Each structure stands twice: as structure tokens, then as C-alpha cells.
Amino acid sequence: MREFHGSGLLTAGPVLESAAHSHVGMHRRVNEDAVLAREPVFVVADGMGGHEAGDLASAAAVAAFAALASSTRPLHRREVEDAIEGARRAVDEVSFRTERGAGCTLSGVVLIEHEGVPHWYVVNIGDSRVYLHTGADLRQLTVDHSLHAELLAEGRADAELTPKNVITRALGSGDSRHDAWLLPVRAGTRLLVCSDGLTTELEDEELRAVLTVGGRPDSVAQELLRRACEAGGRDNISVVVVDTISADFAALDPGGVSGSDDPRDDSGDEDTVDEDTLEVTRPVRR
């Protein structure tokens, strides 16, 4: 547990329970997914299929967050952004050493202090995902950086005919920009971070059902893996489940993100999904 400073007072941080599991799947010989799930960092990287050293790329990406995972003090937004930039550099170095290049997705959450209050810094590059589960409600927080998702968002008739595994952003690629959110931490919520090996096999409704009735994080993560393998397991599968058990700092929560510490897009393009709980920005790669 970390201690946070709100209104000049030292307050107890959130109590979390988490579990992480990764499986090679039913058809692959190498697991190109990499997972780091150690409070306050919960991230998943998926090595890009068809590239040399995809497993090295994903390992390099999550390794850039190792120092944050070892921290015993509250983290801040800038430290997470520095880790993301470090992941970019590390994956580029792996890619430069290969003949055909290498890359990976990166998605996850990092617990930070923002204006004296614990928040989740949600990050996404590619088509691995972060979901928020509250009660019986499941919401995908991240937006897939894939050609299929982009055509679907544009209402294109050919979207359903487009393969879902054509990625438009990834570490090690020409476009490695990340999306970033600040999400106030709420007691009684559950986060799911996963590679597309899970979401290719299971629809959101099945994810919602398992997250709702599955019990503690470890049993939930294992059940999701089992179902994805039974559904075909055509890709590597990685699952991280994070529960917020208590959050006694809630009275200090301003209910949103404000002020100059926001991770702003250099272009000023901002898309507010939910004014009370979620703010999304799309920073331009520096």
C-alpha cells in the first residue's frame, strides 16, 4: 500500500488485489506476450506477429516499467510518460538489430498520484485492451489501433471484411503514438488488461459474465484463459485482473482531471468520454 498526500494530509492509498496469467495458446510455439503485474504497474505487451524477435520486443517494452514497479512511493504522470518513451527506445533498439524489424503493442494501467489523489494512468498503443468492470457493467476504456476499428468508427461498409489483426500503431512501427487517460480510483471496481489473444476468442458479453461472477482475481484470470483456449486459442493469451478493494481517500477525489497537469495532446485535440470519471487525450510522439 502507498500513502498519498491530499490537502496536505497523509492518507492511505487504495488496497488492491491482482492476478496475472499468460498462455502460449493452442497453436503457437512461442509466447510473444510479456506481462508486468506488480503494484503499481499492470501492463501487457504483445509481440507483433510475423516479425522477428516479437518476444524480445514485448519483453523490452515491459522492462522499461520495471523501475516504476519497484517504487515504494507514489508515482506521477511524468514518470509514466518517461517509461513509455523508454519503451519506445528499447523496442526500436530491438527492431534495429533484426532483419525484418520487430514491434509490439502496449496497454495497461499504472497507479499514480494526481493532485494528491490516486488515479489510474491508462495507456494504450495497438490492440491490446483495458476494460473497466463495475457491478455488472463492462466498458472498454481503450480504443483499438487497428484498421478494422478505424474503418468501423468511420461507418465504412467494408469494415467487417477487414482483418482485425492489421495494426495501425505499435511500438517499433512508424506510428507509436499512445493514448492516455487519467481515471480516478474507485473502490469496488475491477480492471482487465489483456492481449488480443483473449478478445479474439471471447466476446465482451462473455468477458462481462466471467468478471461479474468469477470471484477473486486469480480464479477470474484463470477462467478467462481456460475459455479462450477452449474457444480456439489461436494466439498467445495474457490476462491481468486488478481489483480495488478499498479506497478510503474517496472524499478527496475531485471527480475528474483538471489543471495544468493533464497529459495534453500537443495539438489540443481532446475527447472527453465521461466528464465525471474519464478523460482521454492523444499525445503526439515527441
Q: What is the DSSP string of 124-170?
A: EESS-EEEEEETTEEEE-S---BHHHHHHHTT-TTGGGS-TT-BS--
Residue 252: per-residue pLDDT: 38
Q: 208: phi > 0 → left, psi -120 to 50 → alpha, else beta; which?
A: alpha
For 195, half-sphere exposure in the C-beta direction (CA atoms, 13 angstrom radius) is: 30
Write out the chain's pLDDT in tens, 286 residues: 787 776 555 567 899 999 999 999 999 999 999 999 999 999 999 998 656 699 999 999 999 999 999 999 999 999 999 999 999 999 999 999 888 889 999 999 999 999 999 999 999 999 999 999 999 999 999 999 977 677 667 677 675 766 667 889 999 999 999 999 999 999 999 999 999 999 999 999 999 999 999 899 999 999 999 999 999 999 999 999 999 999 865 433 333 333 333 333 333 333 333 333 334 444 333 3
Q: Which of 152, 161, 182 is closest to 263 using CA atoms?
A: 182
Quick one: pLDDT at residue 280? 40
Interior angle at CA 193, CA 217 and CA 102, nearest 5: 135
What is the DSSP-derived secondary structure letter of residue 100?
Answer: S
Q: Are 113 and 119 in contact (CB under 8 A)?
A: yes
Three-class DSSP category at 194: strand
Q: What type of residue is 107? A: S
Host H or E run for residue 248 = none
Angle, to 10 degrees, between the axis of helix 204-213 and the axis of helix 217-230? 150
For residue 10 the three cell numbers come to 497523509
> How many other C-beta atoms lie within 10 A of the C-beta of residue 250?
15
The domains located in the chain, with CATH, are 15-281 (3.60.40.10)
Its sign, for the CA torsion 65, 69, 70, 76, is: positive
C-alpha span between 22 and 35 (Å, rounded) = 8
**Do residues 95 and 103 lie in contact, with contact meaning Cβ atoms separated by under 8 Å?**
yes
